[in-house]
Amino acid sequence: MPKEGFSVITITQLAHDKAKQRYDKKLKTGQLENKSFSKFVNDLIIDSIEADESLSLHAPFMQKIGLQDNSIMIKDNKIGRIVEVQVHGRDLICMLDERKDCVHVGYAYALPEVYRVMSERGGRSR
């Protein structure tokens, strides 16, 4: 039984291992002081939820449909279309606007998983 004000959840071993690796790395580099692994994971979850809420507030008319190969599919409810943003080396390019600096590219940069795709392809890292 957890302490009052706490809950027990089950996560995959992969999620646990990734969180633990990040936690250990931050401990070694001195980025964390007196923070338990449990508190670290709790903070990761809260940060992720807050980032998602912020994205929803600032770009309520857009939503990520998915990622495939080097493309991010974004539904733009303002124009009623699905827009493709492609990773080209270190840049993101909107296939609709044919630009690197439109709202679709800005939205794509706000998605954490986009940085993972870019780093896998040798682009920017966060």
Domain containing residue 33: 13-58
Same domain, 85 and 98: yes
Same domain, 68 and 116: yes
Same domain, 72 and 28: no
Residue 2, domain member (yes or no) = no
**Which tens digit of pLDDT belongs to each residue from 39-85?**
999 999 998 888 888 777 767 899 999 998 889 999 999 999 999 99
Residues 6+ apart with CB under 8 A from 22: none
Residues 6+ apart with CB under 8 A from 105: 85, 92, 93, 94, 99
Structural domain count, the chain = 2
Asked if the model's pLDDT at residue 114 lies above 90, the reply is no
Burial class for 75, CB neighbours closer than 10 Å (0-12, 13-18, 19+): middle
**Which tens digit of pLDDT belongs to each residue from 13-39?**
999 999 999 999 999 998 888 889 999
Same domain, 48 and 97: no
- Provide the CB-side half-sphere exposure for 122 (13 A, CA): 2
Residue 1, domain member (yes or no) = no
Residue 125, domain member (yes or no) = no
Q: pLDDT band for position 88 (50/70/90)?
A: confident
* Locus of tokens 């495939």: 68
β-sheet with 81-88: strand ranges across: 62-68, 71-76, 81-88, 91-94
Q: How far is Cα 73 from Cα 86, in angstroms, rounded to an integer?
A: 9
Q: pLDDT band for position 125 (50/70/90)?
A: very low
pTM of the predicted model, to two decimals?
A: 0.64
